[in-house]
Every structure is written in C-alpha cells, then in structure tokens.
C-alpha cells in the first residue's frame, strides 16, 4: 500500500521541474508572449529532450510507455512554470487517440513519429463536451465539413485529431484542402487554441467505437487540466506566503496579521486535498477504468472551484501589487481560469458526474 508517487515519478517531477526552472523563468514567458507567441521553441525543445514528447507512446513504438499519472506529474510542473509549450494535445491526447482507436497500421504509422517529434498534433474534441455557436463537424465519404472549436495546441500543429458530431475521431492533415485554421485569443496567452473550419477536408477515420475513445480523451484531458491547475495554484499560494512574509505595514510583516494568515491557511486547506484527488483520478484512468470518468469529473470540478478561490485570494494577499503586471501573478491567475473552463466548467462537469451515477431524472 502506497498512495503517492513512485520514486520514478518523483524523479520525473524533479527533472521536469528543474528543466523548466532553468529554461522557462517568468521573464522567458513574458518575452515569448510579448513576441506574440504562445509557444516557446526553446521550452518545447527542452521538454522534447527530456522525453516528454513520447511520454505516452508505447515503448514498442519508440516512446516511454508511461501512464496518465506520469503525464499528470509533468502537467503539474508545466502549470507551475506557466510554460508556453504544447503538451496536453500533442504529447498526451493525440497518442492516446491512436492507442485507443487507431488500427494497427495507423499506430505503426503515427505513434513513432509522434514520439520522435516528426509529426505534431493538435486535438479538437471540444464538441463532445458542449456544442457552442452551432459549431459541429460532420463526417462522410472520408471528408469532414463544419467547425471544430477549441483545437488545443494549435500553433505549430501539422495534424489534428478531430471528433465529429457522433463522437468518432478522425485524423486530419493541417495542409489538406478545405482546412482553415483560425487562432482564438484567450485569457491565457501561454496556451495556443483555435478553431478549424472544414469544408470537405479529406480525413482518415479512426475506429467507429460509439465515441468511446473521444470520451476517454475528454477524461484524460480533464485530469491533466486539473493537474495543471494544481501546479499553478500551488505556486500562487507559495508566492502569497512569501510576499506576506516580506511586506511590512503598520510596523509588522503582514503575514503576522491573522486576517492575512487565515487567507493563506484557507488556500492551503482547500488546495491540499486536491492533490490526492488529482493523483487518484490519474491513477484510476489506467488502473480503475470503471471509476475513471466520475473521478475525472470530481478532480476537474474541485480544482476549478478551489483554484479560482486560490487565484483571487493570492492576488488579494499581494494587495495592489498583485493587481499589476509587474509581479506577473496574473499569468497563473489566467492559467487557472483556462484550466477551469476547458473540457467543461464545474457546473457542466458536475452534471455529467450526476449522470454517470444515475442521479439525474430518468424521464
């Protein structure tokens, strides 16, 4: 019995953390975003060098064959560093899509190239969570038509995994005819998101599995966004505690005032149980599949709520300075905001959790 990370996972956490603290300090994030890019080539290259690109790809296909808990460990570090680097879609969801719904030939063709970084995927399955603004993708005769919103890891992607309106996944080349990609600006400039407008674009379908693979991708995505939020939230708590220990007013450091101390304690008390829940949700994805969808919902909704509270409270602990761009707290604030909404905000996700347990009205 050991509820926690293995020594290898702790090593992975430390490796990714060290790599990012060297390559991706906040100044680097700022300079990327100032240059208008949500992707740092240096960070992406450094993450590739330590093996994150092929993290989920089975060893037989040239990857590391790791689990979603390993990916969650990495995602938490990316959230800590507010890293402007593709990961969720490119290194986790795309290979998972092929592993879950790809034919043997498709797996042989694409997985090694994902692991090596030769092909770079974005993933657009937002439609299976919420259909918005009438956007949907229809498939027929090997072609896709319609709009896919919230394609993740858009910038630099040369291929996409797209869910159609039945939930079936398709593999699409970005350069195919009838593919228009439009970047969307979000609160979180460290992530690259966009929409795909498809007019008869030729695409290769993955297995017709009634949307099963797409739902697994959604669950994995929820867990990893929760893990990202965990990292970003923890940094905000650390920064608030550190600032409260330095900033003096009324002749005392403000952290000695109970009003401020209790804000920090409340953040810590609500944040700490999220860690165990996210770890369990990631573990369950591989080890307890029958519980995975529900606990992914719980992890996503709880971190969404808790870290929204953390983001605003940590900002308040910093007083006026927290509100400025100078300290850069807002990068974490916005990262947490993104993590909360994508793949379903808390209310949407709790509704699904109720459905999964048969708690919704049967009529």
Partner 1 sequence: MNLEYGPEYERFRAEVRDFLTRNGHRAPEPAQRAARPTAEAVVWQNLLLERGYTARTIPREYGGYGAAPNILEARIIAEEFVRASVPGGLSNQGISMLVPTLLELGTEEQKRRWIEPTLRGEIVWCQGYSEPGAGSDLASLRTSAREENGHFVINGQKIWTSTARQADMIFCLVRTETEAPKHAGISYLIFSMDLPGIEVRPLKTMTGHAEFNETFFTDVRVPVDQIVGQRGQGWFVANATLGHERGMLGDPDALESRLLALIRLMQEEQVGCARAIDNPVLRDRLVALQAEVAAMKYNGMRVLSNQLKGDPGGMAKLIVKLQSCELAHQISALAIDAMGELGILYGGSPREREGGNWQWNYMFQLGLIIGGGTAQIQKNIIAERGLNMPREPRLALDAAQSRKEVA
Interface residues toward partner 1, by CB under 8 A: 1-6, 69, 237, 241, 244-245, 252-253, 255-256, 258, 261-262, 264-266, 268-270, 272-277, 279-280, 283, 287, 295, 297-299, 301-302, 305, 346-347, 350-351, 353-354, 359-361
Evaluated on CA atoms 110, 114, 120, 124, the torsion sign reads: positive
Question: What is the rounded CA–CA span in Å between residue 269 and residue 300?
Answer: 18
- State both tokens at 26: 């906040």
CA dist., res. 140 & res. 121, Å (int): 22
Cα gap 175→135, rounded to integer Å: 21
Rounded to whole angstroms, the Cα distance separating 113 from 121 reads: 10
* Nearer to partner 1 among residue 218 and residue 270 (C-beta): 270
CA distance linking residue 233 with residue 219, whole number of Å = 21
DSSP state of 346: H
Phi, psi (5° rounding) for residue 144?
Answer: -115, 135
Give the shortest CB-245-to-partner 1 separation in angstroms. Answer: 7
Q: C-beta of 302: minimal distance to partner 1 in Å?
A: 4
Cβ proximity to partner 1, 184 vs 269, nearer residue: 269
Q: How far is the CB of 262 from partner 1 (least distance, A)?
A: 5
**Minimal distance, residue 281 CB to partner 1, in Å:** 9
For partner 1, the closer CB: 5 or 50: 5
Sign of CA dihedral 240, 242, 247, 250: positive
Which residue, 324 or 360, is less far from partner 1 as judged by CB?
A: 360
Residue 180 or 272: the one with the smaller Cβ distance to partner 1 is 272
Contact 98, 110 (CB under 8 A): yes
State how far the alpha carbon of 132 is from the alpha carbons of 126, 167, 215, in Å: 9, 15, 18
Measured from the CB atom, the residue of 138 and 262 that comes closer to partner 1 is 262
* Cα 282 from Cα 226, distance rounded (Å): 10
Minimum separation from the CB atom of position 315 to partner 1 (A) = 17
Residue in the structure block whose two tokens are 């879609």: 89
Q: Supply the Cα-derived Rg of the chain in whole angstroms.
A: 20
> How many other CB atoms are there within 10 angstroms of residue 34's CB atom?
9
Q: Which residue lies nearer to partner 1 by CB, 251 or 320? A: 251
Least Å from the CB of residue 144 to partner 1: 34
Nearest distance from residue 260's CB to partner 1, in Å? 8
* 146 neighbors 198 (Cβ within 8 angstroms): yes
Taking a C-beta distance cutoff of 8 angstroms, is the pair 114, 157 a contact? no
Our CB check for partner 1 shows the closer of 68 and 114 to be 68
Provide, rounded to whole angstroms, the least separation between the CB of residue 228 and partner 1: 17
Which residues does 100 contact at the CB level (< 8 Å), separation at least 6? 209, 212, 213, 216, 217
Question: How far apart are the two ends of the chain, measured CA to CA in Å?
Answer: 43
Return the number of the residue (207 or 354) whose C-beta is nearest partner 1: 354
- Please state the closest distance from residue 141 (CB atom) to partner 1, in A: 41
């Amino acid at each position: 019995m050991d509820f926690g990370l293995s020594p290898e996972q702790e090593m992975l956490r430390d490796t990714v953390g060290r790599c990012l603290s060297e390559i991706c300090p906040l100044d680097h994030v700022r300079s990327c975003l100032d240059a208008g890019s949500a992707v740092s080539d240096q960070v992406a290259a450094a993450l590739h060098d330590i093996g994150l690109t092929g993290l989920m790809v089975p060893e037989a296909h040239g990857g590391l064959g790791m689990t979603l808990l390993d990916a969650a460990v990495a995602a938490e570090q990316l959230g800590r560093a507010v890293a402007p680097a593709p990961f969720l879609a490119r290194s986790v969801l795309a290979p998972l899509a092929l592993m879950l719904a790809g034919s043997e030939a498709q797996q042989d063709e694409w997985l090694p190239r994902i692991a090596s970084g030769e092909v770079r995927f974005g993933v657009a399955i937002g439609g299976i969570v919420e259909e918005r603004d009438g956007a949907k993708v229809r498939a027929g005769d090997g072609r896709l038509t319609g709009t896919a919103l919230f394609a993740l890891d858009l910038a630099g992607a040369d291929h996409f995994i797209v869910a159609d309106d039945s939930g079936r996944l398709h593999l699409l080349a970005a350069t195919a005819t009838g593919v228009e990609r439009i970047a969307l600006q979000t609160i979180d400039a460290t992530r690259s998101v966009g929409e795909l407008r498809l007019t008869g674009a030729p695409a290769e379908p993955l297995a017709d599995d009634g949307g099963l693979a797409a739902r697994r991708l959604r669950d994995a995505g929820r867990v990893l966004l929760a893990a990202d939020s965990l990292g970003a939230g923890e940094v905000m708590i650390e920064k608030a505690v550190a600032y409260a220990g330095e900033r003096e007013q009324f002749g005392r450091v403000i952290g000695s005032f109970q009003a401020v101390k209790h804000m920090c304690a409340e953040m810590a008390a609500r944040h700490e149980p999220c860690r165990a829940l996210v770890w369990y949700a990631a573990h369950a994805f591989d080890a307890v599949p029958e519980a995975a969808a529900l606990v992914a919902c719980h992890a996503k909704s709880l971190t969404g709520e808790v870290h929204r509270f953390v983001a605003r409270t940590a900002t308040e602990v910093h007083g006026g300075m927290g509100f400025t761009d100078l300290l850069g707290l807002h990068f974490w604030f916005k990262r947490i905001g993104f993590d909360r909404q994508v793949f379903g905000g808390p209310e949407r996700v709790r509704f699904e959790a109720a459905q999964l347990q048969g708690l919704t009205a049967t009529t």
